[in-house]
Amino acid sequence: MIRKSTKVTKSTVMPTTLILLSCLLLATLIAHEAESSSVCPDSCGSTNIQYPFGIGSEGCFRKGFEISCNNGVPMLASTTRPVPVNFLSIITAEARVMLPVAWQCYDSDNNIYALNDGDVHFNSEEVYRISNTHNQLIVIGCNTLGYTQSQRSEGNGYPYAYYTGCMSFCNNSHSAVDGACAGVGCCHVDIPPGLTNNNMAFEHYNHTTRVDYAPCDYAFLVDRNSYTFRTRDLKMDNNTMMPVWLDWAIRDNLTCAEAKKVQSYACVSANSECHDSSNGPGYVCNCTMGYQGNPYIIGGCTDINECQQKEYPCRGICRNTLGSYECKCRSGFHSPDPFNIPCNPNFPLAARIVTGAIGGLFIIAIVVFIILLGKEKRRMKEFFRKNGGPIIEKVNKIKLFKKEELERILKTSNRIGQGGFGEVYMGYIRDEIRPVAVKKPMIDVKLANQFANEVIIQSRVLHKNIVNLIGCCLEVDVPILVYEYVSNGSLDKILHDRNKMPLDLDLRLKIAAQSAKGLAYMHSEITTPILHGDVKPANILLDEDFMPKISDFGTSRMITIEEHYTSTIIGNWGYMDPEYVLTGLYTSKSDVYSFGVVLLELITRKKVLDPDINDLLGNSHDTYTKKKRVIELVDPEISAKGTIGSLHSLAEIIVQCLNLDADLRPEMADIAERLHYLLK
């Protein structure tokens, strides 16, 4: 083909030739490549042969690593005598081969008649070093110095770089003993690293007297663990071979650091690494941790599935990862070191039972709490309904307080009053500036009804002389009432307190007139009149300006046709209308009678139980005598000259109010008007 192309014109010859040549070259390369990958046997007998070692054509092995296969026995190639290989490792970079024993035999005249220096040229490319760690040199003979000479070298005055050996001697034919290789018939010596060949030599000493029991000298390298001296070896077969460990490496004269930069770098697999050789120059390759295989071929190092291999411990759940593996306890278990220590449950059974029990109790407690809370809520709702909540709710004027809002006020330190009805506390609701009086009744069903009554009645009245009900709380057994706070206490207290404060007639008239106004309002100024039912000084409160405010509507009645007949006596003895006591019929005139008693108490400053007052009320004096008696009893503090007229008028009103015939008593509105007139 090439020749043919030369016949073409010169100008085209060169490029065409070049192209053809290139094609040829490429084809050869491809063919070679294909051949090497398909033809290279990967084993010989039972021995696995891996790159850089190889059998066959040139591409199958790296230079110096050729193996020949002889009837199923691998041999180091290119040796002068066959060198069998019985172990080959890519991982440890070692080979175990059989090397010949070197020998030298003497005749009875002390002449050397045959010898073998053992050299087999197994290491033409110097990829091997004789392992100094695994091997030793043995010399056998009865008058000899045997030594190995190794690694050709120049410049030191000798042909080799290493000379290592030992001397062996026998005093007579019985001197050597089995098992002892210590200079009698046999000697041994460690070897240095760096030995490259199996070349031995002997010093020639006089053997004349020893030829019969030790005709030859022997020297050989051998696996430290594989040879024990026997006296019969003084006459051993001169074809004997000994096992020897070789360290091999990529001997490019390069260290790892240098080798990585060149194309011939041998550690071609991913996840491989380079180690400088420990015996001789060069380097070896290894798969990195967690990978295994052949680092000298592309893709040779593969991940180790540690979970399937016993030498990677895991007492928990094993999970393989690239280059490594994870070992964890399954959830709910733990171990300080799951790789070596078995996993234990996080909570031992006992702990789980205890936790469960505690959790159970806790849940039961919560359920009970919720049930109780619901019960309490229902109770509060029930009270609310029972206490007239639905009706009271519609009354805009009354505020409905929550139980918690009032609980802050209901403390002993806030208590300002106490009596048969219950307790009264003073305090502030939320952030209000004006104080309130909170009336907390005793738990008594009868009284409870009274309080509800009071709420309903109070909700209908709004007058400056009637104490103002701000709101109530119905979420309790008996409703709690919240009133405006009236600072000066009751008229009863003002009149009869131990340190009697001076009260002039004008003030007394004002109190009388304003109280009358309040009552008159209740009797006649609202659509459904209300009877107070318990008019007495204790129920007339005075504010800071001594403005009276009627309070306590617990016994009040709304007047309807039949409702003012009461089966139980209400009100307070002394202030009570005698006619009502007789008939059981409570009317507005009953309030008027009581008010008359209040007026009497107001101007006399004597208690209703005072004998004088009692006498005045008890006996049915005629009007004139009664009035005269009233004037006599007037508090000296107000009976001055200028007041006599007013006192007479007051006495007149009182007597009219106290008339035993209810029909003859004036109306409350009338009394209010007359008192108002008197005040002017």
Ligand X SMILES: *[C@@H]1O[C@H](CO)[C@@H](O)[C@H](O)[C@H]1NC(C)=O
One symbol per residue from 211 to 230: x for binding ligand X (CB under 6 A), - otherwise; what is it?
-----x--------------
Question: Binding to ligand X by residue 171, rule CB under 6 A?
Answer: yes
One symbol per residue from 20 to 49: x for binding ligand X (CB under 6 A), - otherwise; what is it?
------------------------------
Output the DSSP codes for 467-481: PPEEEEE-SSSS-EE
Applying the rule CB under 6 A, the residues between 385 and 444 that interact with ligand X are: none
Least Å distance between CB 288 and ligand X?
A: 9
Provide CB contacts within 8 A for 42, sequence distance 6+: 48, 49, 50
Check: CB of residue 220 under 8 Å from CB of residue 238: no
Applying the rule CB under 6 A, the residues between 285 and 324 that interact with ligand X are: 286
Is the Cβ of residue 68 or residue 278 nearer to ligand X in the bound state?
278
Residue 78's SS3 state is coil
| DSSP, res 43 | E
Q: Which of 57, 86, 208, 305: binder of ligand X (CB under 6 A)?
A: 208
Least Å distance between CB 263 and ligand X?
A: 14
Annotated active-site residue in 217, 534, 552, 591: 534
626 is in an annotated binding site: no
Question: Binding to ligand X by residue 105, rule CB under 6 A?
Answer: yes
Is the Cβ of residue 258 or residue 497 nearer to ligand X in the bound state?
258
Dihedrals phi, psi of 402, to nearest 5 degrees: -80, 150
Cross-strand partners of 605: none
Cross-strand partners of 273: 286
Check: CB of residue 310 under 8 Å from CB of residue 318: no
Stretch that binds ligand X, among 47-55, 128-136, 201-209, 607-615 (CB under 6 A): 201-209
Q: Which of 12, 37, 57, 172: binder of ligand X (CB under 6 A)?
A: 172
One symbol per residue from 546 to 585: x for binding ligand X (CB under 6 A), - otherwise; what is it?
----------------------------------------
Stretch that binds ligand X, among 153-161, 208-216, 381-389, 629-637 (CB under 6 A): 208-216
Least Å distance between CB 221 and ligand X?
A: 20
The total of other beta-carbon atoms located within 10 Å of residue 304's CB is 21
| Measured distance CA(197)–CA(453) in Å, rounded | 128
| DSSP, res 329 | P
Is the Cβ of residue 91 or residue 307 nearer to ligand X in the bound state?
91
Is the Cβ of residue 64 or residue 316 nearer to ligand X in the bound state?
64
Is the Cβ of residue 311 or residue 562 nearer to ligand X in the bound state?
311
Question: Binding to ligand X by residue 11, rule CB under 6 A?
Answer: no
Least Å distance between CB 284 and ligand X?
A: 5
Check: CB of residue 254 under 8 Å from CB of residue 287: no
Is the Cβ of residue 305 or residue 355 nearer to ligand X in the bound state?
305
Q: Which of 36, 47, 164, 238: binder of ligand X (CB under 6 A)?
A: 238
Stretch that binds ligand X, among 18-26, 204-212, 319-327, 553-561 (CB under 6 A): 204-212
Applying the rule CB under 6 A, the residues between 253 and 282 that interact with ligand X are: 253, 275
Cα–Cα separations (whole angstroms), residue 289 to 278, 302, 323, 459, 555: 20, 11, 6, 92, 100
What are 584's two structure tokens?
Answer: 């059981």
Stretch that binds ligand X, among 202-210, 310-318, 349-357, 492-500 (CB under 6 A): 202-210
One symbol per residue from 513 to 552: x for binding ligand X (CB under 6 A), - otherwise; what is it?
----------------------------------------
The total of other beta-carbon atoms located within 10 Å of residue 478's CB is 22
Is the Cβ of residue 53 or residue 580 nearer to ligand X in the bound state?
53
Q: Which of 209, 572, 639, 643: binder of ligand X (CB under 6 A)?
A: 209
Is the Cβ of residue 91 or residue 268 nearer to ligand X in the bound state?
91
Instruction: Report the Cα–Cα distance between both ends of the chain, in Å, rounded.
Output: 155
By CB under 6 A, the count of residues binding ligand X is: 17
Stretch that binds ligand X, among 137-145, 187-195, 205-213, 608-616 (CB under 6 A): 205-213
Least Å distance between CB 276 and ligand X?
A: 9
Stretch that binds ligand X, among 203-211, 475-483, 596-604, 659-667 (CB under 6 A): 203-211
Is the Cβ of residue 106 or residue 421 nearer to ligand X in the bound state?
106
Question: Binding to ligand X by residue 495, rule CB under 6 A?
Answer: no
| Measured distance CA(571)–CA(578) in Å, rounded | 12
Cα–Cα separations (whole angstroms), residue 614 to 591, 617, 657: 18, 5, 16
Residue with tokens 């103002």: 468
Q: Which of 206, 331, 413, 528: binder of ligand X (CB under 6 A)?
A: 206
One symbol per residue from 106 to 145: x for binding ligand X (CB under 6 A), - otherwise; what is it?
----x---x-------------------------------
Least Å distance between CB 275 and ligand X?
A: 4
Output the DSSP codes for 175-242: ---TT--SSSSEEEEE--TT-----EEEEE---GGGTTT--EEEEEEEETTT----GGGGG--TT-EE
Least Å distance between CB 209 and ligand X?
A: 6
Cα–Cα separations (whole angstroms), residue 51 to 29, 131, 251, 261: 19, 21, 15, 21
Q: Which of 91, 307, 395, 547: binder of ligand X (CB under 6 A)?
A: 91
- 263, burial (CB in 10 Å: exposed 0-12, middle 13-18, buried 19+): exposed
Of 525, 676, 651, 671, which Cα lies nearest the Cα of 591? 671
Check: CB of residue 508 under 8 Å from CB of residue 653: no
Least Å distance between CB 259 and ligand X?
A: 11
Output the DSSP codes for 480-542: EEEEE--TT-BHHHHHH-SSPPP--HHHHHHHHHHHHHHHHIIIIISSS-EE-S---GGGEEE
Of 587, 378, 526, 558, which Cα lies nearest the Cα of 455? 558
Least Å distance between CB 28 and ligand X?
A: 26
Least Å distance between CB 216 and ligand X?
A: 6
- 337 as an active site residue: the answer is no
Check: CB of residue 389 under 8 Å from CB of residue 400: yes
Question: Binding to ligand X by residue 284, rule CB under 6 A?
Answer: yes
Of 28, 84, 77, 83, which Cα lies nearest the Cα of 54? 77
Question: Binding to ligand X by residue 484, rule CB under 6 A?
Answer: no
| Measured distance CA(387)–CA(451) in Å, rounded | 9
Residue with tokens 């069998």: 84
For the chain, what is the largest distance between any 2 Cα atoms, rounded to a whole number of angstroms? 190
Is the Cβ of residue 2 or residue 114 nearer to ligand X in the bound state?
114
Cα–Cα separations (whole angstroms), residue 359 to 362, 364, 365, 436, 582: 5, 9, 10, 47, 70
Output the known binding site for ATP.
440
Output the known binding site.
440
Contact residues for ligand X, defined by CB under 6 A: 91-92, 105, 110, 114, 171-172, 206, 208-209, 216, 238, 252-253, 275, 284, 286
Which active-site residues does the annotation give? 534
